Each structure stands twice: as C-alpha cells, then as structure tokens.
Structure 1
C-alpha cells in the first residue's frame, strides 16, 4: 500500500480532510468503488475497478477483489495508479478557501497556492492572535500588544505595548508629574518627585508610634504637636505593646525612664514661661537704654553749642545768661548719667537672673533631648526583641518593590539586607540578602536570593563550618500555596560558612531564584510588596554545650 502511494503521480489532497470548494458540480464524476466517495488519487485494479487510497484494503481480501463478488485474484504489483483519472481530478477548478481570496486554481495546486496565499491566516507568535499573513509584519511592528516598545519618555526602558500605560503611570523615571500633596510645585520627573516627597511641607506623615498602634497622620507641625500632647497616650501604647514580650527587666527599665521623663517634663512649661517673660523684660530695658543714650547725645551737643556761644560772646549782659544755661545743661547731663547708671545696674541684675534662668532652661531642654533619644533607643531595642526570630526562620516583607528594583537597575542600591535571625537563643546568627535586579548569572533577568552568616555572640560555642540545610522561599499572596522554594545544603569547604572573622561572611544562595517575568505577577507582588522567607533546618543543630 505504502509503496503504491510513494510511486504514484498527480497526488491530490484527501477531500475529506481539505474539504475543497469545487467551482463545478462533481456529482457526475465516478466515485470510489469501495467507499462510494470522490475518487481522489485513483488506483486501477486488474479487474477494472477503481478505488481511492482509503479503499484499497477494503476491496481486497485473501488476494481477491471483493467488489460485487468480483473475486478476481491480484497482487500489489498488479495495482497501478490511474493516471488519466488523476489528471482529470487534479485539473478540477476549486476556490482558494481563505477569507477574501477569490483565486480559482486547479485542485492539484491547491496546497501550494494556500501555503503562499496572501490571504492565508497566520498566528502571531507573541500574542497568538490569528491574522492575515500579508498583514502579519505590520501587526508585529505596530499593533501586537506583546511587542516590545521603547519608553516614549526616553527613560531607557523597553516594555510590552500593553503595559506601556502602566509603565508611564507607575515606573517611568522621566514621567512628568505634579506633587500629589498639592503644595504648588508641578512638572517634576518621578525621580525628582520621590526626592520632593521626602521634603514636601504638606506631605502626610505618620506618628512615630505607628508600630505601637497609633493611627494619627497629618502634616509635619500637626504630627509634632500630636507627639507633644499625646505623651501619656503613647506611653500607654508602648507599655501595652511590650507587656507580653517576656523581657520584664527591659520593661521595668523603660517604665523607670518614662516616669523620670514625666516628672521632669512637668516643670518645663513653667521654665519656658519664665524664660519668655525675662526675655521680654530684657528687650524692654535694652530699648530704654537706647532712648537714654540718644537723650545724652542730644544734651552733649547742646553743651558744645553753649561753649561755642560762650567763646563768641564777651558782653557782660550775656555772660550771666550763658552761665545759667550751662548750669542747667550740666545738671541735666548729670541726671541723665545717673539714670543710665541706674538702668544699667537694673538690667545687669535682671540679665544675670535671666541668664541663669536661660541656662537652667537650656540644661533642662538638653536633658529632655537626651531622655528622648534614650527613649527612642529603648523603643528600637524592644522592636528588635519583638521581630527577631530565634527558631531559624526569617520572614522578610519588602515594600516599594517597583522603586527599589528601579534603584537596583540604575545601580543606586544593588542589594538589600534583612533583619538578623537566629537558629536558637544561643545559636548561629544569619540574615537575608536579595538582589532585586539579579546578581551574577541572574543579573538583569532574575531575582537573586542569598543567606549570610553573621558574627554572633556565641560563635565560640558553636560547631564550624555551618552545615544546616537552608530553604529559600518566595511566598504566594493569592492563598493558593504556589510558593517558590529552593533548598540547599552548605558546602563545608566554602568560606561563606566558616566562622566569621568580620561582621558578615560572603553571601551564598541562588543567583537565578526566579525570573522577573514570573515574579512580577499578582501571585507574588501585591500592593507593590513581596514576601521572602528563609528557613534553617535547626533539628540538626548540635551546640557544644
């Protein structure tokens, strides 16, 4: 059968597969003797019956023709292609069949025509959309939603056409934007806007006790006023938040510090009022001294004029008058001098008292500032005690993913470090390190995730090198559990897992952890935030004590 088909000529397509649209009626043509359908690629049996390729096996049984009980015996070598019938059918006129194509060709040339027909339907390899072949290139260059397009703002980034508006709205560093706080500054690039947002006088700020539960937000001066007026409220939040941490010693120290601050802060308003009053008095006295100095200068000029008049007038009648004037002027000058001296002594005394009060206020303000710094340090320590994990698990939340990745692409911040975590209370100290734009073989296309062995307080009691298995994960935020994870066992010969001689060993992990195209979906990025997790198998930890 196969040999017969291989040596035959004038092959036409199977009409049951290609479904040709014949121009003329084909009912008058002879059908296959076996299947009673169109006689395509006809074969002639020795007995004179004509069959299509599908009917060869149907009409033959035990080497005999079974059509109408013919019974003629024959072999495969006696079956010949019916060239005349094939030519007849191959020359039948058919329509192309492609939409909008009106070409009429011979049935035998139909496949060749359809493969080169400008109206044939092709599939775009990028968006999988079906489109006319002659328009495919234009579609790829101008219409395909998945084609890569350079940013029209010339920020140096290319993205899919369907994502261009999102890129301009949320990512392009050269996009021109106005201040969202409506402070009056407009037409800034996104990078300039980011810097401006950190300094904008109308930007919304959260209370620094937000992590403790305070939800207040407002302008800079509003937050400052809220902080000053809500001291007792913040103290209650702080104590409530850390009441269950288990570190009673730290909490007791914090309570003592807060009580001292409250006692000392009670006198601050009184001292500030007294200081303001003394400053006002000092300003008033200074103004009085200036006025008296002006009077003294005026009187001095009068004395000089009188002396000149005395020299120029020698008549006896005017001498007595001039002497009287000189006496009056001298008395006035003496009185002015005495008044100035009295005022200066008064101001000197008030200045000393005011200076003392000012110094007291300054010392109190300095002390309060130191207490405020100490309170912030205690707050930071309590936050670290709350967040640090001592069971070998790191849960790392990275906000502002788009901005941080852009900074990584631009070379501003190549990598990020996580907070430290421990394998046990006295165990190994580690942290996470991530390259949002990839590192090494993953640079530019992958997120790279590593762990770093850090110098700890109990390294002298631990076994080295570090050999505990580590699992790195990117968490699915859709709730389907489709987390990305990779587990590796540290290489004892690597310097990354030797006992640290500096604060940080060389990071070790997975440079090609996950492609950006798979990462930057709703599954792993939500609200511009991703969650990374590192888990150390602490069951194999064997401390030396």
Structure 2
C-alpha cells in the first residue's frame, strides 16, 4: 500500500501556550520569565505581573482573573491594598489598556531557556517564537498515522529519517512510496523486484512481473508433447521436447491414424442416431398432423351439435309453454263437455309432442319414430351420449368465459402510467389472518410504466416482515415478468415512491422513496413470474397505522409511484 505523508518541510506542531494578551481564567505572569523585574506592574493579589489588567476606582491595578475572584468572594468587596481598603464599585472597574500594552512590551526569556534557547523577545511576540523554537518538544508529524514519539523540533528531521516507522520511503525497484514497516512486505511481492528462475537456468534477476513470459521461453521449463491430445504422454524440458518430436515421428503418426479411425466410428454412430431420430420425427409429425385433423373435425362437429341443442331448447320451451297453458285451462273447466274438449286438446298436445320427437330425430339424423312403432334404444342412447358431450363442451366454454372475464377485470383496473392506487378492504379481517399466519402478505393488481413497459406490483405485510414483524407494517415493491421484457433496459433503475394515503385531510401522507440497487437480484430481468420483493420493512408502525387518519371504513389505501420521466431517451 502506498504511503502518504506530510513533507518534512511542512509546518511543525508547536507547544500550546496561552496568548499573552488573552483574558483567560489565569492569574498573572511569572516574574521569572522577564529579563528585568517589572515592579511597577505587579498584581496586589497574586503578586505576579499583571495579565489583562483592570483598574479600580481607587487607582490600584489587578489581574482581570484576580479582580473577578475578589468581587465574587464578598457582597461588599474592598480594595485589598493595606493602606487603601476603599469599597469596590463593580460599575467603576475598567480595563487598563495602557498597562496591558506596557506589560506586553516587556522583554521575556523563551519558555525553553532551560533546554538551551537564549532568545529574548517581547511578551507579545513570545507565542510566535514558540511556534518556531527549535527547543520546543512537539509530536511527530505522523501522529495521526500512529506514531506516538515526542521530540524537540530540532531533532524532528533526524527522527523522521532514522526512527519513525511512518515516514515515506521509496521502493528501490518500483520507486513507489511506503512506510518503513510496510517496505519489507512490499519488496517480497513487488512486481519489479528481481527473482531467480525456478528451473535454475542461466538467466538471473528476472523482474517478478516478467517471470511468466520467461517460463514460456525457458529451455529448462517442463512441458508436454504437442501430440498429447492424440495420446502421447511424454513430458520433459523444452530442449528435450524438440528431440522427442524428431525421434518419435512414426509413433505420433500412428496415434493420429488411430484417433482418425475413432473419429470415423463416432461419426458413423452419430449418422445412425441421426437417422433414427429423423425417422422418429417423421412418425411424430404424422401423428401430430392426424391429431390436428381429428381435432379440427371434432371442433366442427361440436359447432353443429351446439346449434342443434340450441334449436332443441327453443322447441322444448315452446311445447312446455303450451302444456302449462293446457293444465291451467283444465283446472278452470269442470263440465263434461269441457272435459271432452280438453281431451281433444290433450290429444293435440300429444300429436305436437310426437311431431317434436320427429323433429328431434330429423335433427340428429335418425329414422323417424311412428306412432305405432317404438324408439330404437340404441339411437336414444347415442343421442344421450351426444347430449352429455355437448354438456361437457358447454361447461368448458363456461370455464373459458370465466377466465376471460377475470382477465378483463384485471385489464380494467391496470394502470399504464407508473401509478398504482391500491384499495385494501376488510382490513381488520386481513390483519387477523396475518397475525394467525393464515395470510402473511397480500399482492396488489399489476400496473405498468406504459403499454409496453415494465410490469410491477406491490406487496404488503400487514403484521410486518423481518425487522418490522409485529411492530410495523412492511411495504415492498415487486418487479414482475412482462410480455415486453426483451425490449426493455435491465436492471430496473427507476425511482420508486411508496405512499400511505391520509383519508382525513390528505395532508399527512406517509411516504418513502428509494432508487433501485443495480446489483440486486430484485431489479434484474425476471426469470419467473416475479422477482424478490424490495422495499421498507419498517414502513409505518402499527400504532400510527391503526388510526382513523389512515384506516377508515375498514379500508386502507396505498399509492405507488414509479418515476417515468427519464425512462425514454430523446
């Protein structure tokens, strides 16, 4: 790993001191640091040289820190000077800027005089000197990298060069900078460091990154015979391989001939298998063609039977109406004459029924049944079988109609603008089913980014999933397999917003927005009906969810928005 560090010419860290002119919480300056004793500027409280001096009404001067302590110690402070003792008026305490300037102009010794620094500067310039004093003890400039050494500034360069493990040192082979403790480890794997040939050839000092190239040319490199694929197992050094090729020519030719014969046998076997498969294909094609023709004929027969059944139903319905009318007339008439008349009517109905039977037999293509002869039982059974088949086919048509109806319902509720409004009714019952584990999650109806765009849906866990189980409602987004996935760009990258709608004021919607992770399998092109759901396990807490704001009339509304603004390029 390359080592980054400050250059040795950078500014060095200095000892921390309180600025001479500051108003910090400190008493006066130590008189020993001054070249000449400043007896005129001594605080009467701490007996040190004034720091940030203030002056009382009586004229005596004190350090700002000392004066503050004096005022705090008593409700009625007085001047501490023995021959003064005048009351201190807090409002009359003023800063003595003249005395402050005089003190800061006094000459002082360096803080590191004891180490050998003989510099004398004005007190106000002491801080600047300490920032450069070569006798100051400072931290190593590589402290942030882990070096804990503290040295005098004058010895810092020597420390960085000879002792500090974090100083940058260039590799002599690749000239990349590294710390001293990393250099040895780097040299052991440096791509330009010289290594010896593992075969022991005469070439020495090969750069590590050139070793593979050398081995491909090294005369002592073990290699295999170029006729290995034909069965030659000889292995030796490159110089020996050349001699082997020149001496084993006849053996190699025999190997090639045997390999050629084996290939011919395999080719013949493949031709035989191909012929068998081709014959089987022809048989299957003929069967398929025959079944297709039979199926077509069966469909045509079904159509004719359906038409016959419809006509039969109409005729039977008319005759049934006549019989009901006759029964009604019989109940109203009581006289014998009327009974005779009714008998004639019944006879007419019987004739009508016989005529109906004749028409049914004509429809089915059977012989007409006379009034004196009996019906052929075999024909009746055949008609019954055909009626059963017709009933079965009608049932299949009913199932197909039901499937089409369901598909039309889905198409009516589908959206093609990337927006889904999902209405979840019977929330209490569905929540209870989630608690008992009967129905852990619900899927919404599909929606699309466009007529030929991505197909998507939403998935909700009313009792939470994963981290949110039992405490939150979890809401997820699902990419589904669509009819036009081959024409779309993958992975799915559109911004998705999940919203819980406020049913009271419409101003307190709860939402969460995310951009799909292109590396997640949830947004790759679906290989099945749908991908793994992705979204918010902690979408909304149960305590917030189950309020009239979001659940009204036992109904919940969820909105999903997919950003389609950047879906299509110019």
Measured against the shorter chain, the TM-score band is 0.3 to 0.5
TM-score, structure 2 length as denominator? 0.36
Bigger radius of gyration:
2
